[in-house]
Amino acid sequence: MTGLYPDTRLRRTRASGWSRALHREIVLTPADFIWPLFVTEGAEVEEPITSLPGVSRWSIDGIAQRAKEAIALGIPCIALFPNTQADRRSDDGTEALNPDNLMCRAIRAIRDACGDDIGILTDVALDPYTAHGQDGLLDDRGYVTNDATVDVLVGQSINQAAAGADIIAPSDMMDGRVGAIREALESGGHVNVQIMSYAAKYASAFYGPFRDAVGSGGLLKGDKKSYQMDPANGEEALREVALDLSEGADSVMVKPGLPYLDIVRRVKDRFEVPVFAYQVSGEYAMIEAAAAAGAGDRNALVMETLTSFKRAGCSGVLTYHAPVAARLLNG
Ligand SMILES: NCc1[nH]cc(CCC(=O)O)c1CC(=O)O
Ligand SMILES: [Mg+2]
């Protein structure tokens, strides 16, 4: 016996469906998904997003319906992103602090409709509220300032927590914001509000359709490279994660998803904490475009990519395919 072929034939366990099921290492379920949703003003409004075929912005009544749909599908959590009206955007993004802004009204409507049956994750960053589309405050040279931005992000987080958010998800990549937000949540009595930090968020070309969806795409001049990470860097992602965990993050996120699965695995191996990934808008659009061009079966592409996230070490995935995938899994 050599332990080699022909004693060992790895095809033996693949020969039948029952055996493949028995040997499957990880199993994807609808409970692995967080469903990102775009909120817009008005009543009974559904606005399809051209660059994200199959995804719409919904007015608050529609968002509450989507939350009920998520519960029915077994999806445990939704992520909210507001499309703020142009006349409510400003250079300093103070609409983020308004207790009656679109985000806060959506949180309260979901809570009214669904109680505690669904988790509500809210994005913290100023880009849906700034007139310039950057995630923070600009100095007179157009640089996104760190510490002054963190002060506003803390206010934004407390505003969302007071409205009923369960998970605060800072996506801005300012240094020190997790610690500042954690301290404010603790002293504000929101001790069970989680922080899921976008710890390793890269300056990516895959965010285009999202920026259309929240209306910041046309406003943004330049790029976000002075705060989001260089796609060439992996060790730096581990430093980002270490800092956010030390500052009080409950879980960390890697973003985008598929091009950064190596980062997911390195983070999981190093820290053994809950890791999430965001399969971002450009990844969703890429799969839909491939399927529309006849380059692959859409449902199979969706399931294969989502399975890959779990295999790489993710506790869950933020994905616009969440309802599609949940329906496929629920049969
Ligand atoms: N802070 C904003 C934010 N939060 C989530 C995304 C991208 C999500 C996606 O592309 O699906 C972005 C875009 C950006 O940083 O420009
Ligand atoms: Mg950081």
Q: Supply 144's token pair.
A: 């996104």
**Domain ranges in the chain?**
27-330
Q: What is the pLDDT of residues 116-166, one digit of tens each?
A: 999 999 999 999 999 999 999 999 999 999 999 999 999 999 999 999 999
Per-residue pLDDT band for 221 (boundaries 50, 70, 90) equals: confident
At 315 the pLDDT is 98
**Predicted confidence (pLDDT) at residue 66 exceeds the cutoff of 80:** yes
Per-residue pLDDT band for 81 (boundaries 50, 70, 90) equals: very high
Atom of ligand 1 nearest to the CA of 216: 16
210 CA → ligand 1 middle, Å: 6
**Predicted confidence (pLDDT) at residue 1 exceeds the cutoff of 80:** no
Is 310 in the active site? no
Q: Is the pTM of this model over 0.90?
A: yes
CATH superfamily, region 27-330: Aldolase class I (3.20.20.70)
12 CA → ligand 1 middle, Å: 45
* Ligand 1 pocket test target in 57, 196, 280 with most atoms within 8 Å of CB: 280
How far are the Cα atoms of 5, 40, 101, 194, 247 from residue 160, in angstroms, in the given order? 59, 17, 10, 12, 20
Q: Are 61 and 104 in contact (CB under 8 A)?
A: no
**Residues within 5 Å of ion ligand 2 by Cβ?**
240
Omega before residue 256 within 30° of 0, cis: yes
Q: What is the pLDDT of residues 274-290, one digit of tens each?
A: 999 999 999 999 999 99
Task: Given the cut 0.90, state whether the ipTM is greater than it.
Answer: yes
At 146 the pLDDT is 98
Residues 231-236 have a mean pLDDT of 98
At 217 the pLDDT is 87
Question: What SS3 string covers the chain?
Answer: CCCCCCCCCCCHHHCCHHHHHHHCCCCCCHHHEEEEEEECCCCCCEEECCCCCCCEEECHHHHHHHHHHHHHHCCCEEEEEECCCHHHCECCCHHHHCCCCHHHHHHHHHHHHHCCCCEEEEEECCCCCECCCCCCCECCCCCECCHHHHHHHHHHHHHHHHHCCCEEEECCCCCCHHHHHHHHHHHCCCCCCEEEEEEEEECCHHHHHHHHHHCCCCCCCCCCCCCCECCCCCHHHHHHHHHHHHCCCCEEEEECCHHHHHHHHHHHHHHCCCEEEEECHHHHHHHHHHHHCCCCCHHHHHHHHHHHHHHHCCCEEEECCHHHHHHHHHC
Per-residue pLDDT band for 2 (boundaries 50, 70, 90) equals: confident
**Cβ of 127 less than 6 Å from ligand 1:** yes
Q: What is the pLDDT of residues 272-328, one digit of tens each?
A: 999 999 999 999 999 999 999 999 999 999 999 999 999 999 999 999 999 999 999
Percent over 90 (pLDDT), the chain: 98
Task: Lowest mean pLDDT of 210-219, 234-243, 274-283, name the range.
Answer: 210-219
Percent over 70 (pLDDT), the chain: 100
Task: Kindly report the average pLDDT of the chain as a whole number.
Answer: 97
At 94 the pLDDT is 97
Q: Supply 152's token pair.
A: 């506003």
Is 201 in the active site? yes
